Chains A and B, each alone.
Chain A
Amino acid sequence: MLQKSSVIHEYLRAKKQFPNVWCPGCGIGIVMGSLVRAIDQLQLDRDNVTLVSGIGCSSRLPVYLDFNTLHTTHGRALAFATGVKFSKPGMNVIVITGDGDALAIGGNHFIHAARRNINITTILINNQIYGMTGGQFSPTTPSDCYGTTAPYGNKENHFDIPKLAMGAGASFVARGTVYHVTQLDKLIAEAIAKNGFSVVEAFSNCHTYFGRLNRQGDSVRMIEEMKKSVIPLKAAAKLPPEKLEGKMLTGVFCDVEREEYTDRYEALIASVREK
């Protein structure tokens, strides 16, 4: 653990004033740790890493890390990231986003980035609610759960992030949780290494709003609940459907080889370029 902390310290921006914006006990910091360990494990040149985010609690993550960092407008991280990646295909571009940012206001960019199969890694931190604005329901808030804008329970359906990403054409799709940290490190590393559009749903806790409004307890209880409610995909394959009810599946949902967008465009440039 001590060793793991020192890795993180190497990548933090010393100049940036801490503490961070997150509530004590928030899972986003755990995702930040996983991201740093994944990048460190892949030995990426940090000048050649750009983190792009939108708006929301999760999107505050890049400012703390010593990379090229771009904190953009609500929902648009993937569109900005597309500009960075497409103009500089050698850059490792990682988008940090949340469930509201990526799937509500940014839903269109999410499906189109996946459709293009552009080599961007999207870490989608899903805490099932809008935290920064104070607990409104999001596209991943389960039906009948409460939010400050769903005072009688949410009457909408929620997105299944892996299904959405796969349906839109992503090459690599995985889900982990902030309880299963070792697995999350590994999933993020695999996603970054993948040449194509990759999505890691990092399931996290917002005890401040989701937990309080839905009587799920504090940070510790919510994270412990992840341990109980999760079944790895491989184990799930051997179980009858009734045993999977109410459970969350984790692991790699999809890992396929598809031609990557910037590779195709660079080949196009090579074929039409004058002199």
Chain B
Amino acid sequence: MAPKIKLLQGNEAVVEGALLGGVRFFAGYPITPSTEVAEGMARRLPKCGGHFIQMEDEIGSIAAIIGASCAGAKSMTATSGPGFSLMQENIGFAFITETPCIIVNVQRGGPSTGLPTKVSQSDTMQARWGTHGDYVAIALAPQSVEETVHLTIKAINLAEEYRTPVIVLLDEVLGHMREKVTIPDEGEIEVFKRVKPDVPASWYKHFEITPSLKSPMASFGDGYRFHVTGLTHNEEGFPTADPKKIQAKLDKLRNKIMRYVDDICRVEHDGMEDAHVAVVSYGSVARATRQAVMMARQKRMKVGQIRPVTIWPTHDKLYKQLFDSKALEVIIVAELNMGQLITEIERVAPRNVKVVGLNRYDSELITPQQILDKIREVR
């Protein structure tokens, strides 16, 4: 069969990835610049037996997808800054109840209504720390429309395997930009099937702390009749005030992710072996970085590039290995905000390496020339 080639925008690529990854439930609320995701899902889902609902707000949207996930559906919502803010309380509910779901955030400028049609990466930290309490978030960030298809599938798989909400961070440029995309065949991609319990109902614990920390998940209607609550709970799911059980629950939320960072985290890098300067960036900015790094190398400057594909969690060891080079003097962190990712890079960078930010938050993209100028400035 000839490969399926399409000209798609990033938001449409989310739809393609979602359907390939098995999402059959979508709840959303219109918001620029993510609305095309909802429009695509409204059109496509019923055709494959899935369900699309436009809820009364973003709070309802995230609530509905968590409810649907408890009932067994792979589920997703898509939004942008203000909607992402509204969703935070229920994202926390998904964390503590270990309910898989996907939240796509097509970032725009903020705070508040901010810049609905302009590009930004100012939700980088909100993706990690948005809801109250202790937890570890997973967030993925593609740099191209084609990668959006694949990372959406990956996000769904991670959510299902680790029983956690996963955030896909796009930005306005990526969401609306059109590029050539080869849509993979169903046979070419890996789709994780939710692991169901195989024990009798009386043995089942919905939040069991297993040796692998991966717990099977029954759905409502499977005969297990379990309890799900946002109150801190024991392995059965019932509220607990026992300090040991409370700590065990919270440790599980962290460790079930952090034990598997090798599987979860992808960080691309190039030319780091002898680089004097490294540029760290993600999403749209990583493309400008690629161009700038090539321009710099043509001028015989030793510049490396690092692109976190997994923005959260931070794989400390991996970064430390990348930064472990005598040649490395300066790390530039380029981002479309006042400096968010840079705090993580500063944390993991060696003490003798200078970390500087290249920040733009005036609604425009960072250009390759700006990055090149910054490289020259810090060398």
Contact = CB atoms under 8 A, between A and B. Distances in A.
B60 A47 contact: no
B51 A82 contact: no
B47 A80 contact: no
Interface in B187-231: 220-231
Given A63-B238, A83-B70, A86-B51, 6 more contacts: A69-B227, A76-B60, A81-B67, A87-B73, A273-B47, A274-B48
A79 B58 CA distance: 10
A63 B229 CA distance: 9
30 contacts: A13-B227, A15-B238, A17-B238, A46-B225, A66-B225, A67-B225, A73-B89, A73-B90, A76-B59, A79-B56, A79-B61, A80-B66, A80-B70, A82-B63, A83-B64, A83-B67, A83-B70, A86-B25, A86-B64, A87-B25, A87-B71, A87-B73, A88-B71, A88-B73, A109-B60, A112-B60, A265-B46, A265-B51, A269-B49, A273-B46
A143 interface: no
Contacts of B323: none
B344 interface: no
Interface centre among A16, A47, A67, A70 (most CB of B within 10 A): A70
A2 interface: no
B67 A268 contact: no
B236 interface: yes
Interface string A5-28: 000000001011100000000000
B55 interface: yes
Contacts of A265: 46, 51
B75 interface: yes
B350 to A, nearest CB: 43
Nearest to B67: A83
Contacts of B55: 79, 82, 112
Contacts of A91: 71, 220-221
A54 B57 CA distance: 17
Contact of B220 (A50, A71, A82, A272): A50
Contact of A52 (B60, B67, B68, B222): B67
Interface in B233-257: 236, 238-239
Contacts of A15: 236, 238
Interface residues of B, number: 45
A16 B60 contact: no
Interface string A254-272: 0000000000010011001
A72 interface: yes
A41 interface: no
A87 B75 contact: yes
Interface string B36-60: 0000000000111101010111011
Interface string B113-135: 00000000000000000000000
B57, B60, B229 interface centre (most CB from chain A within 10 Å): B60
Nearest to B90: A73
A127 B267 CA distance: 55
Interface in A51-76: 52, 62-63, 66-73, 76
Interface of B: 24-25, 27, 46-49, 51, 53, 55-57, 59-61, 63-73, 75, 89-90, 93, 220-231, 236, 238-239
Q: How large is the interface on A (under 10, 10 to 19, 20 to 34, 35 or more residues)?
A: 35 or more
Given A72-B230, A265-B51, A83 B225 contact: no
Contacts of A71: 227-231
Given A66-B225, A88-B71, A16 B64 contact: no
Contacts of B226: 68-69
B130 to A, nearest CB: 15
B85 to A, nearest CB: 15
B27 A274 contact: no
A66 B73 CA distance: 23
A60 to B, nearest CB: 9
A84 interface: yes
Given A87-B51, A87-B73, A68 B220 contact: yes
B339 to A, nearest CB: 32
- Give 7 closest A-B pairs by Cβ, nearest first: A83-B67, A79-B63, A83-B64, A79-B60, A87-B68, A71-B229, A80-B67
Nearest to A17: B238
Given A50-B220, A71-B231, A86 B57 contact: no
Contacts of A46: 225
B221 A83 contact: no
A48 interface: yes
Nearest to B238: A16
A243 B48 CA distance: 58
A108 interface: yes
Contact of A272 (B47, B53, B238): B47
Contacts of A47: 221-223, 225
